[in-house]
Amino acid sequence: MIRIVRAPSAVIALPLLGAAWFAGCRSPSDRPPEHDLPFEPSATIVELMDSEIDPSADALWAAVASITNESGFEERQPKNDDEWLELRRRAVTLAEASNLIVMKGRKVTKGYVAARGLGELTSAEAQRRIDANPEALRGLAGALHDTSLSALRAIDAKDPAALLEAGGAIDAACEACHVVFWYPDTAR
C-alpha cells in the first residue's frame, strides 16, 4: 500500500519565502540597469517585417474599406467584438514590433541578401545606412509606434473612420522608413 503524506504548506512555504526574501535583499548595484539587461535579438529586421510588421499592418489596412467592383459596393469594417479584439492584437503587435526593430544589435539579415527589385538596396547596403544613422531609424520606428497607438485608440473606441485614418498614417510611416533604408533610389 502506498501512503501519501502531505507536508503542511507552511513547511514548504517558509523556505520558499526565505529564498525570495534573500534574493530580493541584494543591493540595487548588484542588478543590471533595465537598459543593460542581456537581451539579444534573435530575429532580423527582415524577419520582423515578414512575421510581425507586415501581417499586422495588412490586417489593419484591410479592416476598413469601401470597395467597388463588378459585384457592387462593399463597405468593410469590423462587425463584432471578436473582430475588434483581433485588430487590437494586431495594433499591439505592430506597436511593439516597432520597438524591436531598433533593439541594440539587431541586423537587417543574417547574411548577404541581394536586392530583390529595381531601386532596392542589398542587405549590406541597408545595414550600412542603418549603422551610419541609427537615430534616423529610431525616429522612423518611433513614428510607426505612434501611428500604431493611434490605431489602437481607434480600435478601443470602435471607430472605423479613425482606424481608416490611422491606417493611412501607418502607411506613411512605413513608406518614410522604406525610402530611406530599403529603396531610396527607385530610378536605379
pLDDT in tens, 148-173: 999 999 999 999 999 999 999 999 99
Q: pTM to 2 decimals?
A: 0.78
Domains of the chain by start residue, with CATH: 41-181 (1.20.120)
- Looking at the chain, how many residues does it have? 188
Asked if the model's pLDDT at residue 188 lies above 70, the reply is: no
Q: Is the pLDDT of residue 5 over 90?
A: no
What is the model's pLDDT at position 35? 59
Residue 20 pLDDT grade (very low, low, confident, very high; cuts 50, 70, 90): very low
pLDDT number for residue 118: 86
CA-CA distance, 163 to 67, in Å (whole number)?
16
Q: DSSP assignment of 102-165, as one string?
A: T-TT--S-SS-----STTPPPHHHHHHHHHH-HHHHHHHHHHHHHHHHHHHHHHHTT-HHHHHH
